[in-house]
Structure 1
Amino acid sequence: MVMLSLIHYVYIIITVIILATLALRKNLYLPCILGILIIAFMYSGNAVKAIQIMYNSFITATTEFLGIIMVIALVMAMSKALSDIGADKAMIRPLKKVIRGPISAFFILGFVMLFIGWFIWPAPGVALIGTLLLPAALEAGLSAVWAASAMNLFGHGIALSSDFFIQGAPAITAKAAGVSTYTMMKESIPLWLVMSFVTIGVASVPLFKQYAKKNSKNKEYVKSEVAVTKDIPVGEDECSVASKIIAVLVPLVFIIDIIIMIKYKIVGSDASALVGGTATIIMCIIALIPRKSKPYNLTKSMQKIGDFFGHGLMFGIEVFAPVIVIAAFFFLGGEGTAKAILGPNATGFLNDIGIALSHAVPMGKFPIIVIVAAAGALCALDGSGFSALPLVGSLAQAFAPSIDVNPAALATIGQMTAIFVGGGTIIPWGVLPIPGVCGIAPEELCKHDLIPVLSGFVAIIIVGTIIL
């Protein structure tokens, strides 16, 4: 049993303060920085060391997010290039026949994201959908925050929490719970369906209220950086033939990427690398295409590559900068990142708290289900839903015999809460790729999806208590 010390309780108090500040939509920089300094000083007992730990926490957070930042930067650079040549508008036109309004746009974005999330992984799926479908959805009248919500709930929530095809999440949970991956997936289906339908159902109510009565000609939508760019004028009339060719080739190239990913089982960061590299090549090709009304100048074309890349990188840094500070505090809670920040002897405060909490719960079906759900959510606050899966699997294996339930079914509840929180849908430092592509603040997306996700959590706890 893990014994909680004073530093654990201080960490809990600071976490509550940060979450309350987030709920009040206030700036989180100061609470997070002070929180890191306090924890660092208590852990090291040295003021100079505490300052160094704070800096190292920022470096660790930046390192963890660097891959995501770079993919978003490269996709945004490509989007800038597409806009410069007018190909973005040419790509949207055929999709208007399929995406006829904001409601259909929401569900088409969602189900495409679900499919890509299952077979490839949500992170590269965000980049693909941001390029191919998001501009058409915005043009159809869907606001950027609703587009982000569709991609977030279906991809990082519903797809990642089930993971039926890649089977990363159920394999980790199953191993810790002492069951087979097949059993884990089979037992998870009823509760996964409950979580999915309740979450999307609750999210859809304001969606239909907002858009059902709106005429498509009287649209209310927010243009994101993907849909429109400001710095470089659109040149569709200058290069219409080239823009049409590029508009056809870009989706084909990314479809080829998807086929390659599926055929060779390229997932996770490797899949993101393929998408980012493809976006870079497309950006360079577009920059080198001659413009009809201007004499060709290789030097200026090469300069455009720098302009596009700089735009993408600045956008990525601007979006991610606030989240790095927030994540730095919560990375103290995860075992792997805590060791990188505090030293090799660190265990991760959130992990310790989750284990201690599990030992303090009285036996009984409802309290045990609640504690497994809470442990999954709590340990995923560091932004890594997968890091909490061994804990919830172990808890399920330990508690299932005492309440006479299948450990796989019990572990499913923890898997749902861990992935939806850390995978993630409701914490700003866990949702980064989607707000980056959609051009909105991470906090805005989290606030938007909080009630639907919490409703899903309540539903699976209630249903789990009844059917397990």
Structure 2
Amino acid sequence: MGIEFTALHWIYVVFIVLIIGFMVKRRDTTLICIVGIFMLAIGATGDFTSSISGVFNSFIYAITELLSTILIISIIVAMSRVMMTSGINEVMVAPFTKIIKTPALAYWTIGLLMMLISWFFWPSPAVALLGAVLLPVAIRAGLPALGVAMAMNLFGHGIALSSDFVIQGAPKLTADAAGIPVGDVVSASIPLVITMGVVTTIVAYIFLRRDMKRGTFLLNTVSEENEDSTQAMEENLLSIGQKRFFAVLIPIAFILDVMAMAVFKLQGGDATALIGGTSVFILLLLSIVAHKSEGLEKTTSYLIQGFQFGFKVFGPVIPIAAFFYLGDVGFIQIIGDHLPATSHGIVNDLGVGLAAVVPLTKEIAVVTLTVVGAITGLDGSGFSGISLAGSVGSLFGNAIGGGTATLTALGQITAIWIGGGTLIPWALIPAAAICNVSPFELARRNLIPVVIGLVVTTIVAMFLI
């Protein structure tokens, strides 16, 4: 095939296997990734000092690549904090409380709202924005607290986070690892996201209704603590008229952003920048109007809270992303041009070699990506392993001669549905806490619907390649 395999290729394979193994054992992979970067660097250069520097440089490269994503999430979280403090979030969702009259309306209204808000605000802030306000309303309508948690979880941390159409943090991670444009991953993910979302949420609702008819749930599961938490805001910061004004202005601003993306064909970094810039101005405006003379200091305080959240989420991701960037163009930029002249990047070389040795079919590739995505989600982050999904998607795409974007999108969706907050108990805590239910019980309720959804989505992916 004209591909020259070197020790670097085998080092990369060994550490991918080790990373998957540690994820299966639910152990942290940061140490393995750092050692892997060092071994690749010393294998390429033979220089101990420059290899140590290579570890640091790989972190710089990863942070540089991920910075726009970290920034947008941090800014949006900062904006959501001032919205909660000033009570704008309550006014924003108040019209929907009039709609929620039955358990079915509660489940689907809360779920669809959660999905919509999560696309723009990220799921964790969206849980806080919606949960405290709509939980008592849903329970009065007859939907158990566990049902509310399931709706927020499946639509927010499932559909919205795995697709990430607006902020595009997840597609950027997987696209970079696969060496393809972000737009390709987003486009390829649309039919898979729809399949996964529709199947999982409908199956979950059917099981929920069945158990409600059996009398399995108690409705009075909202605690006094939770009701008190809705009063945690500073109620005198804004007048009712001001809250209503901003509750209308903020959605309009983001709708205009989406329209601008469509008209001017903004994608990836350009789309992220537009959302981010809009969020900054909303944050500034709300801080100044709500806190008046203290507005300048409060703006900084909200930004600090946002950045703390952003780097807390991406802290575990950076070493892993740094390792997987070495599988593609990042190798030359971080370590230097030490690959064979015939090489097209370590991952591409491995894909070509795999095709020559293994009778790889699209069915095997699709099932493998689902398994890899599932394994990478076991750490409970969802994000920390999707670089691996992108890398393996590129490897298999090259091996079967196409379908890289679909394979990458499938790995991304699987990893985030499992690890981003629908199955791993320690990733379910935000939704479980706001609804005062056990995260383990929530994970148990989600398990069968999510597994059914993944099986159907995997089958659909086979026909899309």
Q: Answer yes or no: is 1:328 the counterpart of 2:322.
A: yes
TM-score by length of 1: 0.66
Give the corresponding residue for 1:338. Answer: 331
Deviations 1:52-74 (A, max 9, x none): 11111111111121111111111
Question: Bigger shift: 2-11 or 14-23?
Answer: 2-11
Give yes or no for contact 1:78–1:283 (8 Å, CA) kept in 2.
yes
Residue type of the partner of 2:333?
A
2:234 paired residue number: 235
2:136 is the alignment partner of 1:136 = no
Distance of aligned partners of 1:144 and 1:246 in 2 relative to their CA distance in 1, 3 Å threshold: same
Q: Which amino acid aligns with 1:255?
A: I
Aligned to 2:270: 270
Q: How does 1:202-217 map to 2 (within 5 A)?
A: 213-217=216-220
Q: Which runs of structure 2 are paired with 1:50-449 in the superposition (5 Å)?
A: 50-98=51-99, 125-127=119-121, 135-137=129-131, 139-140=134-135, 141=145, 147=152, 149-155=154-160, 157=162, 213-219=216-222, 234-241=233-240, 242-289=242-289, 297=293, 300-333=294-327, 335-346=328-339, 347-362=344-359, 367-371=361-365, 374=368, 383=387, 395-396=399-400, 411=402, 415-422=405-412, 425-426=415-416
In 2, Cα distance between equivalents of 1:102 and 1:426: 27
RMSD: 5.1
Q: Which residue of 2 aligns with 1:406?
A: none
Q: Tell me the alpha carbon deviations over residues 250-273 of structure 1, each in whole angstroms, 9 at most, x when there is no partner.
A: 222222222332333323222221
Query: How far apart, in 2, do the equivalents of 1:343 and 1:209 lie?
Result: 60
TM-score, normalization: structure 2?
0.67
Alignment identity in percent? 26
User: Counterparts of 1:192 and 1:238 in 2: how far apart (Å)?
Assistant: 40
Distance 1:62-1:108 versus aligned 2 partners, 3 A rule:
farther
Cα distance per residue 1:234-293 (max 9 Å; x no partner):
2114533233332232222222222332333323222221221111111111222266xx
In the alignment, the residues of structure 2 paired with residue 329 and residue 100 of structure 1 have an alpha-carbon distance, to the nearest angstrom, of: 51
The separation in 2 between residues aligned to 1:454 and 1:12, in whole angstroms, is 29
Number of the residue aligned with 1:24: 25
1:36 corresponds to which residue?
37
- Give structure 2 stretches of 5+ with no counterpart: 136-144, 169-173, 377-384, 432-438
Offset, 1:355: 2.4
Higher deviation after alignment, 85-94 or 45-54: 85-94
Change (3 A) 1:461 1:55: same
Q: Are the equivalent residues in 2 in contact too, given 1:323–1:428 (CA < 8 A)?
A: no
2:33/2:320 contact within 8 Å kept: yes
The one-letter amino acid paired with 1:154 is I
Local SS of the residue matching 2:314: helix
Q: Which letter maps to 1:254? A: F
CA distance in 2, matches of 1:391, 1:111: 36
Residues 106 and 137 of structure 1 are in contact (CA less than 8 Å); yes or no, is this contact kept in structure 2? no
Q: Structure 1 pair 260/111, CA: closer, same or farther in 2 (3 Å)?
A: same
Look up the SS of the partner of 2:406 in the other structure. Answer: helix
Q: How far apart, in 1, do the equivalents of 2:464 and 2:263 lie?
A: 39
Question: What displacement does 1:465 show?
Answer: 7.8
Query: Cα distance 1:91–1:391, how it changes in 2: closer, same or farther (>3 A)?
Result: same
- Residue 369 of structure 1 contacts residue 461 of structure 1 at CA under 8 Å; is this kept in 2? no
Residue 25 (structure 1) shift: 2.5
Which shifted more, 199-208 or 34-43? 199-208
Q: Where does structure 1 lack aligned partners over 5 or more consecutive residues?
A: 117-123, 164-168, 176-180, 398-410
Name which of structure 1's ranges 455-464 and 278-287 shifts more when overlaid on structure 2: 455-464
Separation in 2, partners of 1:457, 1:370: 15
CA distance in structure 2 between the aligned counterparts of 1:316 and 1:195, rounded to whole angstroms: 27
Per-residue CA shift, 1:43-101, capped at 9, x if unaligned?
A: 22221121111111111111121111111111111112112322222223223344678
Residue aligned with 1:26, SS: coil
8 Å contact from structure 1 (residues 80, 229) kept in 2: no
Q: Could you say if the C-alpha distance between residues 314 and 211 of structure 1 is closer, same or farther in structure 2, counting changes exceeding 3 Å? A: farther
Does the 8 A contact of 2:41 with 2:54 survive in 1?
A: yes
Q: Give distance in 2, aligned partners of 1:343 and 1:211.
A: 61
C-alpha change, 1:455 and 1:132, in structure 2 (3 Å) is closer
Give the Å deviation of 1:114.
Answer: 7.8
In the superposition, relative to structure 1, how do residues 457 and 76 fare at CA in structure 2: closer, same or farther (>3 Å)?
Answer: closer
Deviation, structure 1 residue 354: 2.4
Aligned residue pairs total 405
Write the letter of the residue equivalent to 1:257: D
Q: How far apart in 1 are the matches of 2:52 and 2:257?
A: 44
What is the CA–CA distance in structure 1 between the aligned matches of 2:50 and 2:464, rounded to whole Å? 52
Match of 2:142 in 1: none
Superposed CA offset, 1:80-137 (max 9, x none): 2112322222223223344678986775576678889xxxxxxx93437777786225
1:419: Cα distance to partner?
Answer: 0.8
1:199/1:456 contact within 8 Å kept:
yes
CA contact (8 A) 1:62 1:324 kept: yes
Deviation at 1:323, TM superposition (A): 1.4
Q: Amino acid of the residue matched to residue 342 of structure 1?
A: I
Q: Distance in 2 between matches of 1:394 and 1:313?
A: 38
199-208 or 235-244, which moves further after superposition?
199-208
Distance 2:52 2:103 in 1: 49
Does the C-alpha gap of structure 1 residues 71 and 194 become closer, same or farther in structure 2, counting only changes over 3 Å? closer
- Quick check: 261-270 or 313-322, which moved more? 261-270
* C-alpha separation in 1, matches of 2:104 and 2:24: 28
